Amino acid sequence: TLPGLQDKVAVVTGAGSGIGRAAAMALAKQGVKVCLLDLLNERTEQVKQELAAMQAQAITVDVDVSDPLRVKQAIDTAAGTWGRLDVVFANAGINGVLAPIEDMKPEDWDHTLFVNLKGTFLWVKYAIPHMKQKGGSIIVTSSINGSRVFSNIGMSAYSTSKAGQIAFAKMAALELARYKIRVNAVCPGSIKTHINQSTHPSPELEKVKIKVEYPEGSQPLEHAPGQPEQVADLVAFLASDASSHITGTEIFIDGAESLI
Ligand code: NAD
């Protein structure tokens, strides 16, 4: 059992799938009440039922993470339901359109930045009023693409958004230290999820000369992509008092994938 999580309240974005779903389950196992947020309610409803089977308390709210009004409403709903907010896991994200920079449509660039980066800013912004009295923990899902792995050609928007999330988490950690709110970024390598459903390669990608062969499963540690549950364990640790002195940092969870 991790210290300091029993009866706490968390919001988890992208909770209907992959890392968000696994993190919601990991937090619930520690006694956390979880507000499950995603674009589609069908997905989070299923997770909610799985949590109910574990006797865990959960609610769902469908929300586009880049819509300021809906984000504020969702956070107020979560905090209003249980009278507090202790943990924010700003995790929802997309790979978006992959294209060479010269062919990248500005609106496609904007969409990826809106969901991944503005989406992170909004959750932190609207969570602060609910967390500033008692403190808490905010965790952001960035990626090894945010600072180390740039071999995925066509992912300029994605990598920029992921780098922005790391810088933002560090600024937020500094600003919010006075409220005893910790902010950290987790940076996964390849993880077995449904993220490819949000990947849209453009036809122009074919013409990009630099093509780095990067076989799936080339992680030195396990020779396979990681599991969402492995990231979820890190998220639960960062949410708990076991990490009470850790803030403003980026933690790689990639089986050394970013080192090769
Ligand atoms: P996933 O596709 O399985 O889950 C992402 C969830 O986010 C989905 O349920 C989706 O509906 C939701 N979502 C997408 N856009 C949204 C929006 N605008 N509003 C609300 N919800 C939205 O993928 P995942 O791998 O679990 O991704 C979670 C995070 O992990 C992302 O930020 C991703 O960039 C990051 N990440 C994933 C990997 C990987 O290999 N899977 C690696 C590094 C980082």
Most confident of 39-48, 120-129, 149-158: 120-129
**DSSP class per residue in 200-228:** EE-GGGGG-S------TT--TTTSSPBPH
Q: Is 198 in the pocket of ligand 1 (CB under 6 A)?
A: yes
Q: Whole-model pTM?
A: 0.97
Whether 25 shows a pLDDT value over 90: the answer reads yes
Catalytic residue among 126, 158, 179, 214: 158
pLDDT band at 260; cut points 50, 70, 90: confident
Q: Is the CATH number of domain 9-259 3.40.50.720? A: yes
Q: Taking the mean position of all CA atoms in its chain, how far away is CA 82? A: 23
How many residues would you count in the chain? 260
Q: Is 126 a catalytic residue?
A: no
Query: pLDDT tens digits, residue range 179-220?
Result: 999 999 999 999 999 998 899 999 898 877 665 555 655 678
Instruction: Using alpha carbons, select from 246, 89, 239, 249 the residue that is nearest to residue 167.
Output: 249
Contact assessment for residue 31 and residue 239, using Cβ atoms and an 8 Å cutoff: no
Does residue 93 line the site of ligand 1, with CB under 6 A?
yes
Residue type, 199: T
DSSP 8-state class, residue 243: G
What is the percent of the chain where pLDDT is above 70? 96
Give residue 224's pLDDT: 87
> What ipTM does the predicted assembly reach?
0.99
